[in-house]
Chain A
Amino acid sequence: MEVLLQNEDTIAAVATGMGGAGIGIIRISGDQAVELGNNLFVNPKGKTLKTAKSHELIYGKIIDPETHKDIDEVLISKMKAPHSYTAEDVVEINCHGGIVPMRKILKLVIQAGARLAEPGEFTKRAFLNGRMDLTQAEAVIDIINAKTEKSLEYSVAQLEGRLSQKLEELDGTLIEILSHMEVNIDYPEYDIEEISYNFVNTQILGLLKKINEILAVAETGKIYREGITTAILGEPNVGKSSLLNTLLMEDKAIVTDIPGTTRDTIEEYINIEGIPFKIIDTAGIRETENLVEKIGVEKSKALLNQTNLVIFMRDISKALSEGEKELIELLKNRRTIYIANKTDAVSEQDLEIPAPWIPMSLLEDEGIELLKQKMLEMVFEGTVNQDADYLITNTRHISLLEVTKTSLENAIKTMDSQMPIELVSIDVMEALEALRGITGKAVGMDIIDQIFKNFCIGK
């Protein structure tokens, strides 16, 4: 049901590209849009979104309604149905503070009850509500089908495959609980043991533990979506910007033979077999200075804490400097890939490069594939999270899993307040339905199938 009611509920998403630190718009559409937006918004003069005129831009702040903390300064506007993009009530929040606050706001909107929009969903609604030309409908159908039929990039699909195995386990337990409850309800006179609240309770607590684990991984999943932050570090002129350009396959960073060319860090996104990386090209760290002193221990640690992965690059035609040695020491417990660049500049016989150094010549386009493999390897090894061998990236899936969790918590509450079993079963059923929203399996005959498989009943 959840999935099918897509056209009725309130949806939200970032409506402009997420890259960079520019302005982003979060769009909310549906019956609840104004209500949701209103609850998160404060205006210094006490204006509210509810009382605002349609299409009026108002300045104010988004606050977390629980902590009352400011999240970002925004310009907000509402477009009353049908005079909006989707012909539903629409609220648009223009954020200024870049990706982090924008994501926070989106998260607040979702927590307040909106659902994350599917790809193409605003457009689909616009069409269904008569706001769009017929010819555009085909494109919408393509988007919908792309989502279900064109499989994801291989590596992501593999990880998500393992996730669905995890979900299958949860599904199995839920079906088991439900079929036992249902057989007790529908076949009260058969000598089948009554399922006890104690038992259900323990089972559900077990499920909740597993769900929390998956949701914790979901946090990591986010890193995958936002890109694995990868910093290229090294002394000036070793070829860091050249590497960024090669990975991007375009000239984004300025490359010169003058050491110290890159002054500010440059961030760009690349995609290796479906896994996004946010590559940060940094200004070279000068050999002559005490590295640790220069950037400061605290500052360097902070920088490193923000990155998931470090690519440390040296120029193999030069001897390892003291500064480089210090830096290597600093990186010892970090996920680091070591690159020895400019192999073309040394003669064959001098070229003995011990592991873990990866030989590279950007001039001759060598070593790039190896680097990419290494980067992926690090991700799958659990660079970011040691235990999880699966991945949950789809925000809709995450929110469905949250629903599963809430429903199971409700089931426990229902049992605690001594309500009868058929009410507990409503909660458990809701949990199953939400879970099935992720796996796409319909809730139907399989509970009854389980009943007949596991219990001997019938006249």
Chain B
Amino acid sequence: MTYSGGDYDIIVIGAGHAGSEAALASARIGLKTLLLTINLDSVAMMPCNPSIGGTGKGHLVREIDALGGEMGKNIDATMIQCKMLNTAKGPAVHSLRAQADKKAYQFRMKEVIENQVNLLLKQQEATEIIVENGKITGVVVNTGALYTCKAAIICSGTYLKGRIIIGDVQYDGGPNGLFPAMYLSDSLEKNGIELQRFKTGTPARVDAKTLDYSKMIIQEGDEHIVPFSFETDQIDIDQVPCYLTYTNPETHNIINANIERSPLYTGEVVGIGPRYCPSIETKVMRFHDKERHQIFMEPEGLNTNEIYVQGMSSCLPEDVQIALYRTVPGMEQVEFMRSAYAIEYDCIHPTRLKASLESKEVAGLFFAGQINGTSGYEEAGAQGLIAGINASLYLRGEQPVIIDRSEGYIGVLIDDIITKGIDEPYRMMTSRAEYRLLLRQDNADLRLTEIGHRVGLISDERFQKFLDKKEQIKEEIERLNHVTVKPTKENNEILKSFGSSEIQHGLSIGELIKRPEVKYLQTDVFDPVRPQLHWSVMEQVEVQIKYEGYIKKQLQQVEQFKKLEHKLIPQGINYPEIGGLRIEAAEKLQEIKPLSIGQASRISGVSPADISVLLIALEQRRRSSVKDVTTNE
């Protein structure tokens, strides 16, 4: 028996990283939103590593922030250590990563959600979606309530038919000892949404007091913390260190001796696991000549002894896990608090989604996060935010926000999964971005704040600040290009002290900064009237000047890219009918229904010749439709 639970504009199913962003976005845009979670204590839970960011992922968080999402602010408020990765390399690949206090992270997010107007958070398990005439109209929950809605966003993470595997011990379960969602899958399939099985795993959590850190290498955070959010000015915390240790031949012997007890090797696990997240047994088996593997100890929070043992995920039976962990220096006496496990779950085929993250099968039904076959909190958050925005725009009858590959990692992420499809959980990597030099973490605000403002997630006040910053950057670059440094003896002495070469004739400061060894800050000796600027402005000035040539080159590539992206393909096309298209290409095109020639060209199995044929067919179509119109008249 169901009863009517009320009417909402948008219902978000799942309050993890995707669901939290989705629900906050739609509520902030002004739509009446219901956020359902299987357990109120699992809002924004981090069931795997206690950290946010990392290469590529840090970029995503900054983009979320630039668009008006919550993740950046949440981690800024709850981090216990922070590091800018890749500082030895160039600015395009600098990436932020912070260790989070997991509980603090959850509590803060929950509090923000609870206090958000237009948003109601409820502990109920969604069991069924109601679809009428191809449109979503409601969601039924386990307690019998039927909520009506105009749009829904499914952010069910790894909960759908979740199955936990610890060696030969296997049971239905969600992450972290929570219940799985056993019903929603069937409802999705009934409505034409095909599912596949993916798998991921997590290492054990161990008791800190059973570790001997003196045998490990301490890993400190950065002295000066760069915040994730463009709105956080600075972060002053006492940072907690991580520790590094290594496996050894003894560890590997234990694995080798027990490998037949691993369900990965007996074939009991059918889900496809990610290659970038291999279990320790996979690493040892695949790279058997590697003498040692790195293991990081990451604290799960300030008020807990739980330590996340990064590098040691495993699906071996618990007794083998304990034995192998104890071979590692500093872990001889280790006690487990939670065992390593693998989890198998249902997810959809993301090629069945539009670029807006709306289902091609059911209008008004959006998907975000791990249900789409991605992995990672940041990937989930990014999709959640976009789904939240686009569900809102859908309700308003407006065009969706589609960030393209040249505008953000979010664009790369979504375009990748909906166009190329996935055969393992998808993790963001900077190498997936073609225009990496343009998609820096330092300029995420310059790339995306305008979109955030347009949809109503960035306040006018923040937007004005952003415009000011933009102006300051422009002015300062202008100015530096007009301050000349004369080739005097003193000036050349100074340049030499920078490790730079002498100048023969006058050069602008801008020209000097182009030299790799000359820093913006150093050049103030040549610059008596330098204005006081915020560090983020100075950073932009320096990067934009120093890499100008390369940035220009990538901008040209982007221009070419955009030309193809702007060649739109009408959606009603029946590809198999196009003469001259190869069958494989026609099938793929029919499945993906690309929005543009650019997207079509990224589908694997569609060749440049197919694209030419497609262009011609489109032109034929266009002309015959023009003719039809004229003959009708």
Residues 150-189 of A, flagged 1 when their CB comes within 8 A of B and 0 if not, give 0000000000000000000000000000000010111111
Residues of B within 8 A of A182 (CB): 429-431
Nearest neighbor of B95 in chain A, beta-carbon distance: A188
User: Which A residue sits closest to B90, measured CB to CB?
Assistant: A420
Minimum CB–CB distance from B314 to chain A (whole Å) comes to 12
Q: How far is the CA of A141 from the CA of B56 in the complex (A)?
A: 41
A147/B609 in contact, CB under 8 A: yes
User: Are the C-beta atoms of B580 and A144 separated by less than 8 Å?
Assistant: yes
Tell me whether B560 and A1 are in contact (CB under 8 A).
yes
Q: Which residues of A contact B624 (CB under 8 A)?
A: 134
Determine how close the nearest CB of chain B comes to the CB of A31; give it in whole angstroms: 11
- Contact A417-B550, Cβ < 8 Å, known A134-B623, A459-B313: no
Contact status A137-B616, CB under 8 Å: yes
- Interface: B557 (CB within 8 A): yes
| B278 at interface, CB cutoff 8 A | yes
B103 in the interface, Cβ–Cβ < 8 Å?
Answer: no
Q: Which residues of A contact B310 (CB under 8 A)?
A: 459
Q: Does B459 contact A (CB under 8 A)?
A: no
Are A138 and B579 in contact, CB atoms less than 8 angstroms apart?
yes
Q: How far is the CA of A138 from the CA of B274 in the complex (A)?
A: 45
Tell me if A422 and B92 are in contact (CB < 8 A): yes
B496 in the interface (beta carbon within 8 A) = no
Q: Which residue of A lies closest to B284 (CB)?
A: A456
Interface pair A426/B613, CB less than 8 Å apart: no
Of A124-132, A284-292, A316-324, the one with at least 4 CB within 8 A of chain B: A124-132
Asked whether, in the complex, the Cβ of B55 is within 8 Å of the Cβ of A422, the reply is no
Q: Give the distance in Å from the alpha carbon of A420 to the alpha carbon of B87 in the complex.
A: 10
Of the candidates A5, A187, A448, the one whose C-beta lies within 8 Å of that of B560 is A5
Give A422 to B608 CA distance when docked, in angstroms. 28
Interface presence of B283 (CB below 8 A): yes
Question: Bound complex: CA of A119 vs CA of B604, how far in Å?
Answer: 25
A422 contacts B615, C-beta separation under 8 Å: no
Are A456 and B85 in touch, CB under 8 angstroms?
A: no
Asked if B294 and A191 make an inter-chain contact with CB atoms under 8 angstroms apart, the answer reads: yes
Quick one: which of A434-453 are within 8 Å of B by CB? 440, 442, 444-445, 447-448, 451-452
> Is there contact, CB below 8 Å, between B437 and A426?
yes
Q: Are B553 and A185 in contact (CB under 8 A)?
A: no
Q: Is the CB of A448 within 8 A of B607?
A: no
Residue of B at shortest CB range from A417?
A: B516
Contacts A144-B612, A147-B609 known; A422 to B90 CB distance under 8 Å?
A: yes
**A271 close to chain B: CB less than 8 A:** no
Q: B90 contacts which of A7, A421, A457 (Cβ < 8 Å)?
A: A421
Q: How far is the CB of B307 from chain A (nearest CB, A)?
A: 14
* Docked CA distance A40–B286 (Å): 59
Distance in Å: Cβ of A47 to nearest Cβ of chain B: 32
Q: Is B535 part of the contact surface with A, judged by Cβ < 8 Å?
A: no
Contacts of B553 in A (CB 8 A): 426
A385 located at the interface, meaning its Cβ lies under 8 Å from any Cβ of chain B in the complex: no
- Chain B neighbourhood of A417, CB < 8 A: 516
B89, B274, B561: which contacts A422 (Cβ < 8 A)? B89
What's the minimum C-beta distance from B603 to chain A, rounded to whole angstroms? Answer: 9
Is B277 in the interface zone, CB < 8 Å from A? yes
On chain A, the number of residues with a Cβ less than 8 Å from chain B's Cβ atoms is: 52
B436 within 8 A of partner (CB) = yes
CA distance A7 to B616 in the complex (A): 11
Task: State whether A145 and B86 are in contact (beta carbons under 8 Å apart), knowing that A426-B437, A452-B276 are contacts in the complex.
Answer: no
B293 interfacial by beta-carbon distance below 8 Å: yes
* Residue of chain B at shortest CB distance from A418: B516
Residue of B nearest to A189 (CB): B85
Nearest Cβ on chain B to A149's Cβ, whole angstroms? 8
Known interface pairs A137-B619, A422-B437; A440-B612 also in contact (CB < 8 Å)? no
Q: Complex: how many Å from CA A423 to CA B56? A: 16
**A345 CB within 8 Å of chain B:** no
Q: Do A124 and B616 touch (CB < 8 A)?
A: yes
Of the listed residues A188, A419, A458, the one surrounded by the most CB atoms of chain B closer than 10 A to its CB is A458
Give B64-117 interface residues, CB cut-off 8 Å to A: 85-86, 88-93
Is A298's beta carbon under 8 Å from chain B?
A: no
Interface contact B579-A3, CB-CB below 8 Å: no
**Would you call A456 and B436 a contact (CB within 8 A)?**
no
- Contacting B at CB under 8 A, from A344-365, are none
A419 lies within 8 A of B90 (CB): yes
Kindly state whether residue B290 has any CB partner on chain A within 8 Å.
yes
Query: Once the chains are docked, how many angstroms separate the CA of A8 from the CA of B612?
Result: 12
Contacts of B90 in A (CB 8 A): 419-423
Q: A185-B86, A423-B547 are in contact. List 7 more A-B contacts (CB 8 A).
A: A1-B564, A4-B597, A5-B564, A6-B608, A182-B429, A419-B550, A422-B90
A-B contact list, 24 entries, CB within 8 Å: A124-B612, A128-B616, A134-B623, A137-B619, A141-B580, A141-B613, A185-B55, A186-B55, A188-B86, A422-B90, A422-B437, A423-B90, A423-B547, A423-B550, A426-B436, A426-B437, A426-B550, A440-B608, A444-B420, A447-B431, A456-B290, A458-B278, A458-B283, A459-B277
Interface residues of B (CB under 8 A from A): 49, 55-56, 85-86, 88-93, 203, 274-278, 283, 286-287, 290, 293-294, 310-311, 313, 420, 429-432, 434, 436-437, 516-517, 547, 550, 553-554, 557, 560-561, 563-564, 579-580, 597-598, 601-602, 604, 607-609, 611-613, 615-616, 619-620, 623-624
